[in-house]
Each structure stands twice: as C-alpha cells, then as structure tokens.
Structure 1
Amino acid sequence: MNWKDIPGLDGVESPGLLIDADAVQQNIDRMIEIVGGPDHVDRLFPHVKTHKIPEITRMQVDAGITKFKAATLSEAQMAATAGAREVLIAHQLVGPKVDRLATLIDDFPNTQFAVLVDDPHAADAINQKCGDAENPLDAYIDIDCGMHRTGILLGNPSDALRAHLDSLSGLRYAGLHVYDGHLHDPDLQVRTEKVKEILGKVARHEQQHPSPRVIVGGSPTFGIWAAETSWHCSPGTTLLWDFGYGNAHPDLPMTVAAALISRVISKPGEGKICIDLGHKSISAEMPLEKRFQFPDLPDAQPIGQSEEHLVLQTPNAASLHVGDIVIAIPRHICPTVALHSHATVVRGGRVTGERWRVTARDR
C-alpha cells in the first residue's frame, strides 16, 4: 500500500501514528498459521508491548488468542479490559507495583494473572501481598538463556527457585519463561542453530524436571520455535512490524502495519526540507540515519533532528512545498507507538475516522 495516497490523509494532523487494521489482521492470521493453524492457536502467547492498544488485543481475542504477555501493569490492565483470559506480567514486580498487582487481581476476576520471578525475595513479597492459598497466583521462572538481562541459569539455580516457589502457599509454579532477545542474526541458519542450542538445554532439563508450561522466544525466533517445539511462542512486534525486523528477518512473512504521517514545515535551504518528525514522535534510540525510511523519498538523508524537527537533504526538495505530506516508516515501532496518544485507523485503504487510543502507554 502507498500510504501517501490514502484517501482522507489530508485531514490527519501531523506528526501522527497511522495503523492499517487490515494489515494487522493479516499479521494475526500469519501468526496463527506459523504455530500450525487454528487448531493450535492456543500455543500463542503474544506480547502486547508493541501496540499497547485494546482494539488490537480484541482482534487477537476474536481470532482465538486468549493468553498475552505484558511488560507493565498498564499493559496487563489493557489486556484484561480487552478480554484476555490470561496475562503474564513478564517483568519482575518489586516495590509498590506488587500492591498494584493485588488491586488488578481484584478488579479483573475473569482474568488469570501470572508473574515472572528470578529471585526468592521478589517471590516472597508477591506471595505476601498477592498470594491466596485457595487460588494461588501462577509464577513463571525467568531463565537467562544468553541475553544476560534478567533471569537465572537453568539447572541448580532454577531448581532451587522452583523448590522455593513450592514452599509458598500463595504462589504456584507455572513453568519456564525463556526469552532469547539476544538472537537477531539476519542469517536464518545461524539463528536456527542458536535457537536449537537453547532448545536442547531446555528439553534436557524438562525431561528431568517437567514444567506445566514453557514459554519461548520473541519475534525474530518465533518461526523457529514454532516449527521445532510444541511450546508456547511469544512474538510481539509481529502485530505491527517495522522495517528493522523486516529487513533483518525476511523469513517472517509479516506486513508493515504502522507508519507515521509528517509534513514539510520549512525549506531551510537548497536541497533541504524540514518536517515535523522530531524525536518526540519517532524512536530516537538508533543512530540518526537508521531511525526511519521514507518510501516516497528514498534518497533523503537526515541532517539533524531535534524535539519537533527533522531536517532532510533530498534531491526532491524543489518539488516539495510547505504543507506536503511525508510518510515515514520507523525502524523500531515499539517505542515509537509509546510516543503517541492515539493512532489514526486505516481500513479498506482509506482513513476511516476511527482513532485507537494507546491506552497502555502509561505505566
């Protein structure tokens, strides 16, 4: 789809987030195909951190997906509001967040919440404030499989924590959480070999110490885990996709379902334009030249970006006028979405007038 030619775009304020609802549905359908089709949809445990939008969660629920991961309590609440049957908060809760979880559990009795732990003290605090002997809270053990960000090693450390969980009346050991966020090799064979190395370790451990569930992977390794195991898979970026993952992982058949609308606000010199796409509207974590793609200005080179401005050098500058629309595709969609209060919905190739609130952008 050529985003710039969408009817109704002239009435959309910039900078703004655009979401193609039809493309989101296609991506949901492809996620289901990857895990084996509708009969195996229960394997999906997608993350909501990319979109943070209840309407997109409901689209997944309508497709038979009922289990979700969340990084924040606001995301967990959004998922519960949208009809999630289960929500795993995949971020070890500490401090006042534990009290908020207790409130969330009371407010949404039809949603089964679960927590992620890698420390017995954190488990104790959650057990004290959220545990219920008659209805224990599910707790997954976070395994460090190579990312070295959170989690503990599989083996004696994880076995000891499992024994500790078994000693707590208000928590129930639910399984292992194995996130391989460090695996993003463009070469599918290399990525596959690295996944199989982790898979072998987990499978051997599971033979000796079976778990109720194993939740594995992220978006780059989604297809590999789905093909090689019967475990639960946890993609997230697959819902909206971006050019970063699209370029690096063409083996995943996802469609870019989100873009940014911006406009020319000044022409500061020959061969230059300034658009209203500052780093308050697109993720700025990458080097400047890697943050965006411009489908209609493929030769544009960024010169400088500030809070509300982006200056581009482009051979097409003379043909552009102040007020003209410039479409950008972000390299990393997840933090970009969090910069916007709402998304303008495109459906059937046109602006519909719908606006989806990014309700879980708050923490």
Structure 2
Amino acid sequence: MDWFTIKNIDAIDSPALVIYKDRVIENIQLLKGMVEGKVEQLRPHVKTNKIAEVCSMMLDGGITKFKCATIAEAEMLAMIKAPDVLLSYQPVGPKAKRLAALVEKYPATKFSTVIDNIHAAEYLSQVFSEKKLFINLFIDLNTGMNRTGIIPEHATQLFEAVQLLPSIKIIGLHAYDGQIRDTDLTLRKHNVDKAFSKVLILAATIEALSKEPLTIVAGGSPTFPVYADRKEVECSPGTFIFWDWGYKQTMPDEPFNYAALVITRVISIVDEHTITTDLGHKSVAAENPFPRVHFLNAPEATPISQSEEHLVAKVPDASLFKTGDVLYGVPVHICPTVALYERAIVIENNTAVQEWKVIARDRKITV
C-alpha cells in the first residue's frame, strides 16, 4: 500500500483535503533539525495550515513563536495559548482596532505587528492609547520583494519618528525575501546574503541609537535553509508543514515531505484520451498555470482545463479509468488550496480517523 492510500476512502466525499498526521510531525522534526534543535530560532508562519490542531502540534514540539497574516490566524494562535504571535501584515483601518481587541481579550499571548510608514504607526498609537493598551512593532523592510515594506536606507528615520509616539515600541525588523527562489542553493544563499546585508547595517545603526538589541525576523520557506545558519535571525517558513509540488521541484535541497493532498474522483470519461474529475477552481489553488495539481497514483494524467466544479485531464488511455476512481493530488501551491476547505480529513495509518476545522480560513473567529 502506498503511503497516501486511504483504506476507508469510500467514506470520504470528494473533493476533499486530507492531512497525513504522521508526516506533519515528521516535517516539524525536520524543521527543528535544520536549526540544530534551537527552537527559539523558529517563528513559523501559520498562513499555510490555518488549523489550530496543526499549530498545537508545533507547540507540542517546543515551538513558541509564530507569524501570521490575518486577525483570524492571530486569534486562532491565541486560542491555543501560543505565547508569542507576530501579525506580519500592517494593520490599517478596522484591523488596527481588531488587533487591539485581541490584545485585550488574550492577555496571555504577546502580540506584535509590523509597520512601514509613520501614518500607520501614528494610527496604531492612537488606537492603542485610547484603549490604554500597548503593542510592540517590527519595521517591515523591502529587501527586493517590492510588495510591502520600507527600503532599509530610509528605515532609521522611521524608527526615530516612532520613538516619539505613545503605546507602541519598535523591537525588531521584519524582512520577507519571497522574490529569492533560486533552485541552486549556492546562488540562493548569495542572493539572500546580498539582500540581507542592508538589514544587518540597519540593525547596527538602530541598536547604536537605542542601546537595545533588535529581533530580526526574516525569510520564508525558500530561503529558510540560509537563515537556519544565522543564529541571530528568527526564521519564518510556512509551507514546510505540508509542502507542495511547487517547492518540491524548485527547492530540492529542502527535506520536507508532502503531508496534505486533495482527493478527487473521476466523474466522466469524455473520450479515449480525456477524463473529467470533480477538482474545480473551488478545490485547488487556480492562480498557477496548468498543471495546478499532480496525481500521485496517475502521474500520466495531465490537467488541461478547469472550471468551478470540474478539472479536465488528458490521459494516454482513458479505458484504464472508470467513473468513481479516486485520484490523490499534490497541489502546486498548497497554501491557498487549504483556504478553500472548511474542514480537513485527518489520516493516520492509512485510515481517515477524524476531521479538523480549517478555522482561520474565516475572516473572523470572534474578534
């Protein structure tokens, strides 16, 4: 029996998201091994899994610091009593007030967030001052991703301006270098070090001004192996927990294994070379070009088109398939795929044993 085969598959309707619990545990252990067991260096991003039970497994593994992108993810972490949560998404508008509400509701969790401009800092200061609360901040740096963040050369001025504001304090720097995805690890390390050199210069400048050490949070799954060797950096991989086809192909040096799949069934035989499954746009992330999913038990099946409820695939011989056949798929991108499902089926010993709610796919839990 293959590792992914589910004995009681007839009890699982499709499409479905399935999580192999033992493989999740293995990926957590592999992560810890890459920092030589120094779990204090780890700050995993939970945007991939969005599941309280999965995050609890990381807590059980000794990981106490986490990163997230939404208020719901932050609340999910607080609900399981995660000690340290960084919201790495600059809160503007109502999000700032929701963050203050989280700080008020969950005092056992130490929250922080990021800023990249003085206007956002002033608004956070106002919101938290009105509530008589306090929040720690990280300066979000643009080291080449060109999505958010202030360029390091301008960040000292921002630091000095924020020092004058009440109810907030800058305690660190945040740098996400998602643009660095070189398959060759040597080239990837070169590009990471080049971008990160500006972060180190900035950190030294600010520490000289403040006389206090800064915490640096950097990287994601592609650059994690490089930062794992930098003991002064908190590393933030996210996809490692489930892994996916995209990273398996582009980052072959990373040891993580597939731990989450999508289950689909053949619903129609179109012609001698074409089959249709029930894995539509609503069931697997559709932002990538075809193929968006690869089938472990039918590697010859090549997806060619997709609509809301259907995925059409070309096969060498459609007579080898019949309606109702189950295909086990690895998404090219697992993170947005997980967000498409309300619940995940948990697999242990090749058997579906329970369901976990993908609680943080919701925009709001209670706050």
TM-score norm. by structure 1 comes to 0.95
Quote the offset at 1:235 in angstroms.
0.5
Per-residue CA shift, 1:226-247, capped at 9, x if unaligned?
1134211111001110010011
In structure 1, distance between residues paired with 2:170 and 2:45: 21
In structure 2, distance between residues paired with 1:254 and 1:174: 32
Quote the offset at 1:96 in angstroms.
1.1
Alignment of 1:1-363 (within 5 A): 2=2, 5-37=5-37, 40-131=38-129, 136-155=134-153, 157-210=154-207, 211-289=213-291, 291-352=292-353, 354-363=354-363
In structure 2, distance between residues paired with 1:140 and 1:190: 28
Amino acid in the other structure paired with 2:200: A
Per-residue CA shift, 1:113-169, capped at 9, x if unaligned?
1110001111111111124898631000001000111001113x2111111221112
In structure 2, distance between residues paired with 1:269 and 1:357: 38
Quote the offset at 1:30 in angstroms.
1.0
Amino acid in the other structure paired with 1:81: M
In structure 2, distance between residues paired with 1:343 and 1:51: 10
Q: Secondary structure at the match of 2:202?
A: helix
Report if aligned partners of 2:85, 2:109 keep a CA contact under 8 Å in 1. Answer: yes
Report if aligned partners of 2:7, 2:351 keep a CA contact under 8 Å in 1. Answer: yes
Report if aligned partners of 2:142, 2:152 keep a CA contact under 8 Å in 1. Answer: yes
> 91-100 vs 124-133, which deviates more?
124-133
Counterpart of 2:210? none
Amino acid in the other structure paired with 1:226: A
Q: Secondary structure at the match of 1:18?
A: strand
Quote the offset at 1:207 in angstroms.
2.8
Quote the offset at 1:3 in angstroms.
5.4
Amino acid in the other structure paired with 1:286: N
Quote the offset at 1:348 in angstroms.
2.5
Amino acid in the other structure paired with 2:358: V
Report if aligned partners of 1:297, 1:316 keep a CA contact under 8 Å in 2. Answer: no
Per-residue CA shift, 1:100-120, capped at 9, x if unaligned?
112111111101111100011
How many residues of Structure 1 are paired with residues of Structure 2 in the alignment?
Answer: 358
In structure 1, distance between residues paired with 2:187 and 2:311: 37
Amino acid in the other structure paired with 1:327: Y
Uncovered stretches (5+) of structure 2, i.e. residues with no partner: 208-212
**Alpha carbons of structure 1 residues 133 and 74: separation in structure 2 relative to 1, 3 Å:** closer
Amino acid in the other structure paired with 2:247: Y
Quote the offset at 1:316 in angstroms.
3.9
TM-score norm. by structure 2 comes to 0.94
Quote the offset at 1:209 in angstroms.
2.5
Report if aligned partners of 1:225, 1:233 keep a CA contact under 8 Å in 2. Answer: yes
Report if aligned partners of 1:265, 1:274 keep a CA contact under 8 Å in 2. Answer: yes
Quote the offset at 1:206 in angstroms.
2.5
